[in-house]
Amino acid sequence: MKKRVPSLLLVLSLLLTAPAMAVSDSTENFVRGKTYSGQFSDLAPDSVFYDNVAALYEYGLSVGKPDGTYGLQEPMTVGQVVIFAGRIRSLYRTGGPERGAAPYQSGGVPAAVPYLLYLQSEGVLDTALDSSLAAAATRAQAAHVLANILPEEALPRINDALVSQAYADGRFLTDVTADTPYHDDILTLYRTGVSAGSDAAGSFLPDASITRGAAAAMLTRLADPTLRVTPDWDLSVRSTSAQGATLAGLVPAGAYIAAPATTGELAESIRYMLSSDSSVLTLQYPGIAPLDARKVMESALAIVKTYCEQSYNSVSCTYNQAGAVTLTFSAAGHGEAVSLYRTEAMTSAIAVHDQLWESGQLTGSMTDYEKARVYYTWICDNCVYDYSAGDDSLSHLPYSLFHSGTAVCDGYTGAYNLLLKLEGIDCTALSNSGHIWTVANLDGRQVHIDTTWGDSGSQIDYSYFAMTPQQSWSQHPW
């Protein structure tokens, strides 16, 4: 009889880690087989993540750290997120958290690899994170891993309408744009109640590292519908005035990088300058040669022109032997007067924005697409192309469109982008050697909009509104 004891113990152990009657592809497999009773010394009852971490323990998905803590604020690696995701997928599919990865277990491989291979074999995870398993996971990466591990019947989109409306509103989820890595996966977490963001605006903080506490919240909401959340967003109250908006405030804040080595780093420094309401940027390149200084100047000007609503289209450069390269931005032919033109353009744009809201042409129920079309119509109705404009004409600035009703392509685009940004619509300017137009994120979709060409005939041509990138390329390659 003694020889049978190990077998009996094994059976009892299995019964503690998996449902007695496992069902394939069923939420019935999510059973809390343990009771949390203070096993983690760092988990206080008043912690925002208390219920989630306790649930993670009770589902048998985590036993915490060897020192008896859970490690709420510690970052998780990509591999650790993958392991948890693989366990939840396996529990749903097979009734056991380790059964899915078991066929892929092999000596000498990192612990996360079998779970990664399992998720990939199930078609719920791609290869984008294969080389990042040991790195700290960003919240966007965590969203990519978690968004598709359960089918819709197990993870219904309980917040679908709310999230779509909030995203279109422009006041919520403002740090998740079409350019955000894993944009669709992040929105899926909101739509399914797995995330409600980190503040009243629903900010997701996609580039921040995901902590073990935040991960526990997302993971247990996958397993337990009672833990899923609906954002507390009031979409009914919205100010219809843009009074108080500033040009500097329309630029995403950047960080100053003294010696940017890439275009991305230079763009970061330029955003820092613009968001600080400055037109001067000093960089440090010890021993820089004249040709290299010119390249920096040309690259900086190209980046500034993508913010054409700021009214800068020329740059001067000085540098010294110590390596200080000073870039001063202005508008061609207008020097210090550009400050006045920028102020008046902003004042005029705010007035247009407020009048369209007061008249009811813009309403809170409209999508980004519908609002952008209203502004497109207004631009085309209130401007004519200035065929006589020289290189230093005011028609290159949004001021001219608002003040005189005349502009060329950068004036059209600058004025239009200014109006869109007052509406909270993310946009920039894109150019080729002879033309410039708008690229905007409307309701989560990137589109190209050319107000100049839309206003080129006797009637407004809406074929240049909300073009796909492919349609835009066929009209004006860049």
DSSP string, 248-287: GGGS------SS--SHHHHHHHHHHHHHTT-SEEEEE-TT
Domains parsed from the chain with CATH numbers:
2-227 (no CATH), 248-332 (3.30.1370), 336-475 (3.10.620.30)
CB atoms within 10 A of CB 263: 12
Q: Band of the pLDDT at 6, cuts 50, 70, 90?
A: very low
CB < 8 Å & 24+ apart, contacts of 105-110: 110/79, 110/134
User: What's the pLDDT tens digit per position in 95-151?
Assistant: 999 999 999 999 889 999 999 999 999 999 999 999 999 999 999 999 999 999 999
Q: At what angle do helices 160-169 and 183-191 cross, to 10 degrees?
A: 130
| AA identity, residue 429 | A
Query: Locate tokens 């005939």: which residue?
Result: 457
DSSP secondary structure string, 323-367? -EEEEEEE-TTTGGGHHHHHHHHHHHHHHHHHHHHHTTSS-TT--
Asked if 17 and 33 touch (Cβ cutoff 8 Å), the reply is yes
Give the per-residue pLDDT at 239. 61
Task: Read off the pLDDT of residues 169-220 as tens digits, 9 standing for 90 and up.
Answer: 777 898 998 889 999 999 999 999 999 999 988 999 999 999 999 999 999 9
pLDDT tens-place string over residues 123-137? 999 999 999 999 999
pLDDT: which is higher, 7 or 300: 300
How far is 94 from 29, CA to CA, in rounded Å?
A: 8
Give the C-alpha separation, 53 to 67, whole Å.
16
Q: What is the DSSP-derived secondary structure letter of residue 138?
A: B
Classified as helix, coil or strand, 308 is helix
Using pLDDT thresholds of 50, 70 and 90, give the confidence band for residue 168.
confident
Counting residues of the chain whose pLDDT is more than 90, the rounded percentage is 85
- Per-residue model confidence (pLDDT) at position 178: 85
CB atoms closer than 10 angstroms to residue 149: 23
Q: Is 59 exposed, middle or buried (0-12, 13-18, 19+ CB in 10 A)?
A: buried
Q: Which region, left, alpha or beta, applies to residue 144 given φ > 0 means left and ψ of -120 to 50 means alpha?
A: alpha
Residues in the chain: 478
Computed over every residue of the chain, the mean pLDDT equals 92
Per-residue tokens: 75: 């970052």
User: DSSP H helical segments within 22-138, as ranges?
Assistant: 50-58, 78-94, 113-121
Enclosing H/E stretch for 445:
strand 445-449
Give residues with Cβ within 8 angstroms of 224, minimum separation 6.
30, 55
**pTM of the entire predicted model:** 0.55
DSSP letters, 391-444, are TT-GGGSHHHHHHHSEE-HHHHHHHHHHHHHHTT--EEEEE-SS-EEEEEEETT
pLDDT at 308: 97
Model confidence over 188-202: pLDDT tens digits?
999 999 999 999 889
Distance separating alpha carbons of residues 353 and 349, to the nearest angstrom: 6
Question: What is the four-CA torsion angle of 238, 240, 241, 242, rounded to 10 degrees?
Answer: 70
Task: List b or e across 367-405, with b for residues whose CB sees 16 or more CB atoms inside 10 angstroms.
Answer: ebbebbbbbbbbbbeebebbeebeeebbbbbbbbbbeee
What 3-state DSSP class applies to 235? coil
**CB-CB neighbours of 432 under 10 Å:** 10
Alpha carbon distance 141, 210 (integer Å)? 9
Beta bridge partners of 294: none
How is residue 227 written in tokens?
A: 């833990």
pLDDT band at 364 (very low <50, low <70, confident <90, very high): confident
Give the pLDDT confidence score for residue 7 in this predicted structure: 39
Kindly tell me if the per-residue pLDDT of 236 is higher than 80. Answer: no
pLDDT at 21: 61
CA 326, 327, 332, 337 torsion: positive or negative?
negative
How confident is the model at residue 18, as a pLDDT? 44
Model pLDDT for residues 411-439, shown as the tens digit of each residue: 999 999 999 999 999 999 999 999 999 99
